[in-house]
């Protein structure tokens, strides 16, 4: 075994307790939530498909950066579908489960950002936009594939359930679909919501890359100084103005459902 292989093996063994602790916390919170009827089976499915959607979003940033000349993510061993490489203990596990449990049961979270050295890209200003938009673009593609899969399932495998009607409004109860249909539909929902949310042009969301590209070079130092301060604005929007965010994301979700059904 080479020295590099021994070092990687040692690092993996050192990280194993952390991985086990993260998994135990997640499972414990979910079990408690289910036992106290605070988390439905639909919520469990939504959370289960949320994790791979976020991972693929993050990996795509690193893959596109590699194509454009920066191998930072590759050297950091982040171009992998191993979820433990991307887990942020609070943002990927604790926060999403807590938000799924408390009303209005919105799922929000983040993975560890994939490292990208913008100065190593071949054309830093232009390529950084492509790297940023790779995440939402991946989510849009996945949402499209999930939508096609769901459409084929209800056409050729399982007939759609009867709608629930109240007064002049009719809607479909997601729990009335077959399990496979629920998983595919929720995977599509998660990806279209991730794409829409991340395209909001507020730093550090991916959509802010377009704003950054349009700024003159002389304004960039000041922009970089205040950029991370906008993270507080995003968190305030999520925690304290969920009505506005829920309406926005709800409209996106309804549009997607009407498109694929």
Across the chain, which has 261 residues, the per-10-residue mean pLDDT values are: 47 58 64 61 80 92 96 93 81 69 63 90 94 96 94 76 59 71 91 92 90 89 83 73 72 85 76
The structure tokens listed for 91 are 């943002």
User: Would the pTM of this model clear 0.75, i.e. be above it?
Assistant: yes
Which one from 58, 152, 181, 212 is the annotated catalytic residue?
58
Q: Residue 133, exposed/middle/buried by CB under 10 A (0-12, 13-18, 19+)?
A: buried
CA–CA distance, 166 with 196 (Å, rounded to integer): 29
Q: Which of 179, 180, 174, 178 is nearest to 149 (CA)?
A: 180
pLDDT the model gives residue 27: 67
pLDDT the model gives residue 1: 47
CA–CA distance, 24 with 30 (Å, rounded to integer): 10
- Cβ pair 108, 98 in contact under 8 A: no
Packed helices 124-156 and 41-67: angle between N→C axes, nearest 10 degrees: 140
pLDDT the model gives residue 10: 43
CA–CA distance, 72 with 69 (Å, rounded to integer): 9
pLDDT the model gives residue 45: 83
Q: Is 171 helix (H, G, I), strand (E, B) or coil?
A: strand
Q: Is 58 a catalytic residue?
A: yes
* DSSP secondary structure code for residue 90 in this structure: I
The structure tokens listed for 177 are 């679909």
CA–CA distance, 36 with 128 (Å, rounded to integer): 45
pLDDT the model gives residue 174: 63
Packed helices 179-198 and 242-260: angle between N→C axes, nearest 10 degrees: 130
């Amino acid at each position: 075994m080479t020295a590099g292989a021994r070092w990687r093996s040692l690092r993996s063994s050192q990280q194993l307790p952390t991985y086990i602790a993260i998994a135990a916390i997640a499972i414990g919170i979910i079990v408690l939530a289910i036992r106290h009827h605070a988390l439905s089976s639909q919520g469990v499915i939504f959370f289960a498909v949320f994790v791979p959607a976020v991972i693929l979003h993050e990996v795509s940033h690193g893959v596109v950066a590699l194509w454009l000349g920066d191998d930072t993510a590759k050297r950091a061993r982040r171009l992998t579908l191993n979820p433990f490489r991307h887990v942020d203990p609070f943002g990927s596990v604790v926060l999403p489960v807590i938000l799924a449990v408390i009303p209005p049961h919105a799922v929000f979270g983040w993975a560890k950002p994939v490292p990208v050295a913008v100065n190593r890209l071949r054309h830093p200003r232009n390529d950084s936009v492509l790297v940023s938009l790779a995440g939402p673009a991946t989510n849009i593609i996945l949402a499209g594939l999930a939508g096609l899969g769901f459409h084929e399932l209800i056409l050729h495998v399982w007939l759609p359930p009867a709608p629930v009607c109240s007064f002049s409004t009719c809607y479909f109860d997601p729990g009335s679909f077959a399990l496979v249909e629920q998983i595919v539909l929720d995977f599509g929902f998660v990806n279209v919501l991730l794409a829409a949310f991340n395209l909001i042009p507020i730093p550090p969301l991916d959509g802010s890359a377009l704003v950054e590209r349009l700024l003159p070079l002389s304004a960039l130092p000041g922009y970089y100084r205040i950029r991370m301060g906008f993270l507080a604005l995003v968190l305030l929007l999520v925690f304290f103005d969920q009505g506005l965010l829920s309406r926005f994301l709800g409209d996106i979700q309804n549009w997607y459902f009407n498109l694929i059904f």
